[in-house]
Structure 1
Amino acid sequence: MSITPSSKFLIGVIDISERVNAQEALRKLQSEMAHAARLSTLGELAASIAHEVNQPLAAIATNASAGLRWLDRPEPNLEEVRALATRIAADTRRAADIISRIRGMATQRATESVPLSLKAVIEEAVAFLRHEMQAQGVALALDLPPDLPQIRGDKIQLQQVVVNLVINAAQAMAKLPAAERRVLMSARHESDKLIVDVLDRGPGIPAEHFDRLFQSFFTTKDNGMGIGLPICRSIVETHGGQIEAANRADGGARFSFSVPVLQHA
């Protein structure tokens, strides 16, 4: 094609700023809803959180008192005091770690997308739930292969999904004898994604609830808000994955979500 002085061109300009602004507003709304759901979860876990924080603080007070008694002796035992000081330092770090996890869940923050170990994400979220599971008489087991590939995503949001699914599984078994309350969380690598399963031994999901399970404000709990599972779906889909629910053949429910593995250039 030759271009001459008389050649004419038609140039079109499409203003997509309105669409971009709408997409940004939607992302902001999703982030705010996820933050509200995290605060709601923290409210449910308030008693367990208080217990978790109180344990290291009580240990610090006990060890500090013991250290003072050793120092007040006619011949202070500095070795004992040194050992107690070491324990105090360890309990201080433990309390700081607990508070850091709580702050991470409670803080309103911009979404991140960084390389992550899904195994570490799950293990840290489960540590956050340790006392809550004990209080509900639930045995929580993990089956996480050590060689899972990395993913890309937001650690706090993915932990929010884990925490929500585990709490739901535990609450579904509230009417079972304590010895039967078992939750299994496993992860596996399939093709280009990681799949996480949360299995419980509860009564399962009624057939009439499947179509509404991930709809906003649908809940079967007396004081539930109905935003936990919809937020989980939003987070998982934002990470390029999917979430689904099913009943197990041998009883109980299974919630599964997937996230793509990190593709290296």
Structure 2
Amino acid sequence: HNIGNTLNSVNVSAQVLQQCIHDSELTGLSKVIDLLDANAHRLGEFLTQDPQGTRVLPYLRALARRYEAEREEALAEVETLTQSVYHITRIVAAQQSHARVAGVTEQIAVDDLLEDALLIHAERARSSGIEIVIRTDAIDVIRTDRHKALQVLVNLIGNAIDAVEAHDSPVRRVTLVTRTEGDQACFEIQDTGVGIPTELLTKIFQHGFTTKPHGHGFGLHSCALTAKELGGTLTVSSDGVGKGAQFTLRLPLFSEGDETCSTIRKTVCAS
């Protein structure tokens, strides 16, 4: 879906470039050259006295200005193309990371994890006019299963964008906040979307439950289970319909294996 959006941008830029080249007034330059060649033997007289020749220099000046405008337009579209292609390569890399085999615990830079999760939705958010705000606390790294953590964050960010798109509000924003809470890293995904009725908050993670017209009710249930597998929790809060929502993913700063190793080292030292 996100690659599709970016490919649409590539297609638009390619069409603009094609039209720019097709409509270029530089094609008229060859006619001027032919005219000058035909009057080469009396070029001075032709340019200063001949009714047709006296229009050559003004035409060339106008042509030069038009060329500069065409050049700037073409360069802008080439820049857009370059960015779009780069964006596609990053999305593919992020999705390859997202799709890799789970079960491997590793040290992960929190900034990289957020960047990968946001990258997959960046083009969609941009095209929908949704502002993405990131507020990070001093969390450098966590140790967890990258694939599973990314899976949850991608799902939550996608849901937040869905909620904002479905809400007719002048404020269109998804905010990501990271902070520490004791020995846990907290990832808060806040949106200014449709919100959640109070009576549904206790059902939101139930298997098969959904508030979306075409939802299947598996996403948030799966996210909650995955958070539990990682030794963390997933919670939700909302002030009601039309007032947005906040999902909070809490993960241990270190994996259970790290804590065990730390306990063993302390025991050895004490003995």
Amino acid at match of 1:141: V
Give the structure 2 partner of residue 117 of structure 1: 109
Gaps of 5+ in 1: 1-45, 64-86
Give the structure 2 partner of residue 100 of structure 1: 93
Does structure 1 conserve the Cα–Cα contact (< 8 Å) formed by 2:231 and 2:251? yes
| SS of alignment partner, residue 169 of structure 1 | helix
Does residue 136 of the first structure (1) align with residue 90 of the second (2)? no
Kindly report the root-mean-square deviation, in angstroms, between the aligned alpha carbons of the 2 structures.
3.7
Give the structure 2 partner of residue 244 of structure 1: 235
The structure whose Rg is larger is 2
Structure-1 separation of matches of 2:115 and 2:108: 12
Give the structure 1 partner of residue 176 of structure 2: 185
Give the structure 2 partner of residue 36 of structure 1: none
% identity of equivalent residues: 24
Does structure 1 conserve the Cα–Cα contact (< 8 Å) formed by 2:7 and 2:84? no
Structure-1 separation of matches of 2:108 and 2:101: 18
Give the structure 2 partner of residue 166 of structure 1: 157
Structure-1 separation of matches of 2:87 and 2:229: 33
Structure-1 separation of matches of 2:193 and 2:130: 12
Does structure 2 conserve the Cα–Cα contact (< 8 Å) formed by 1:192 and 1:260? yes
Structure 1 residue corresponding to 2:191, chosen from 194, 197, 200: 200
Structure-2 separation of matches of 1:60 and 1:101: 25
| SS of alignment partner, residue 201 of structure 2 | helix
CA separation of 1:204 and 1:155: change in aligned 2, threshold 3 A = same
Amino acid at match of 2:141: Q
What TM-score do you get using the length of structure 1 for normalisation? 0.63
Amino acid at match of 1:254: Q
CA separation of 1:157 and 1:220: change in aligned 2, threshold 3 A = same
Which 10-residue stretch deviates more, 210-219 or 198-207?
Answer: 198-207
What TM-score do you get using the length of structure 2 for normalisation? 0.62
Paired positions, count: 205
Does structure 1 conserve the Cα–Cα contact (< 8 Å) formed by 2:102 and 2:147? no
Q: Deviations over 1:50-79 (max 9, x none)?
A: 23256569889999xxxxxxxxxxxxxxxx
